[in-house]
Amino acid sequence: MTGLEFTRHEHPSPATAEARAAVLQAPGFGVHFTDHMVAIDYDAGTGWHDAVVTPYAPFPMDPAAMVLHYGQAIFEGLKVYRQPDGSLASFRPGANAERLQSSAARLAMPALPVELFRESIEQLLAVDHEWVPVAGGEDALYLRPFMFATEAGLGVRPSSSYRYLLIASPAGAYFPRGVKPVSVWLSTEYVRAAPGGTGAAKFAGNYAASLLAQAQAADQGCDQVVWLDALERRYVEEMGGMNLFFVFGSGPDARLVTPSLSGSLLPGITRDSLLALATDAGFAVEERKISTDEWQKKAESGEITEVFACGTAAVITPVGSVKSAEGDFRIGTGEPGEVTMALRDTLTGIQRGTFADTHGWMSTL
């Protein structure tokens, strides 16, 4: 219980069963939205108030709303999975609630209580549960909680009022080619985040700052950009919306390396979960710095056998080839690797209720 009562305004004309079925047949990523959303407002005087479940719709904003000028905007991403018995469960929602709080702290925004975050999900799913794709496939309902500054004013200071919204979007594969390996471009010209900056927060501006380099990657014929550290432009940080893992060796002796949390990369919940699952599976895991030189040399010598990206939207996606100003190289055979696919099966099995949830990560709705 959060002490806040939610008011529910049901949609007068929600999508018909036929329209919903047409969307769920091929949901894409982030293009269709469910019938409702949750909104909760915050004012410095009253705190969080006016929690509502309301039809998904545009809303008016003051042209001087501070988010439009100085960019206080943060978000989260998590999924709700239909279980084999038809029930619904989300993956580690408490971890997303806590990360929203730490993003808020970095952006001088108020913390949304963890219980209110959880309740917003329960309230939305109570009305929009039919939008969760069927069990057994790759699809899920992607939840996008976010928060932004609403005070009207042009003085540069933290806003005194905010709005939290939760919207939901049925989602298929983030990469249209599914689990086929992606190609990446090493960005040495642009950086995503610097020490002391906002890289560890899920802050909208980080994504705005990434778009030009992402366009450069596309011009180079690559799917994604890989960010390097801001100071030396040598150490691998992460991708646009995913963390990275490197597999050394193969079979039961394989070791996994992922860049340590430098303060300028996002502490992914999938990353954290895979560190645990890889350990469970008997692999050695290491969080440390890894340079682009090491990556290239050891991929070319065959010591690095697999590389994969991981995140809520992308799940686990193999990286097959690398391009940079310094030259190109491939990883392994160019096909999804064994360790990558074994970890992917374990993670998605837990999320979809076909593997035992030994860590207690699933939260029934």
Tokens encoding 185: 């471009």
Indicate whether 217 belongs to the interface with ligand PLP (CB under 6 A).
Answer: no
Candidates 172, 197, 311, 337; binder of ligand COI (CB under 6 A) is: 311
Tokens of 303: 């010591």
Could you give the angle at which helices 114-128 and 93-106 cross, rounded to 10 degrees? 130
Q: Rule CB under 6 A: say whether 259 interacts with ligand PLP.
A: no
313 is a site residue for ligand COI (CB under 6 A): yes
Show the site string, 212-241: x = touches ligand COI by CB under 6 A, - = not. Answer: -----------------------------x
Q: Give me the least distance between CB of 266 and ligand PLP, in Å please.
A: 4
| Cα 49 from chain centroid (whole Å) | 27
The answer to the question of residue 241 lying near ligand PLP (CB under 6 A) is yes
Which residue from 123, 150, 312, 317 is in contact with ligand COI, where contact means CB under 6 A? 312
DSSP conformational letter for 129: G
Of residues 112 and 313, the one with the C-beta less far from ligand COI: 313
- How does 218-243 read in b/e, with b if 16+ C-beta sit within 10 Å? eebebbbbbbbbbeeeebbbbbbbbb
Run of H or E residues at 286: strand 284-288
Residues of this chain, 248-287, that bind ligand COI according to CB under 6 A: none
Report the alpha-carbon distance of residue 249 to residue 257 in Å, rounded: 11
Count of chain residues binding ligand COI (CB under 6 A) = 5
CB of 341 to ligand COI, least distance (A): 20
User: Closest distance between ligand COI and the C-beta of residue 17, in Å?
Assistant: 28
* 145 makes contact with ligand COI (CB under 6 A): no
C-beta closer to ligand PLP: residue 15 or 204 = 204
> Residues 139, 229, 238, 306: which binds ligand PLP (CB under 6 A)?
238
Question: Does 199 contact ligand COI by CB under 6 A?
Answer: no
Residue ranges binding ligand PLP (CB under 6 A):
77, 238, 241-243, 266, 268-271, 311-312
Residue ranges binding ligand COI (CB under 6 A):
77, 241, 311-313
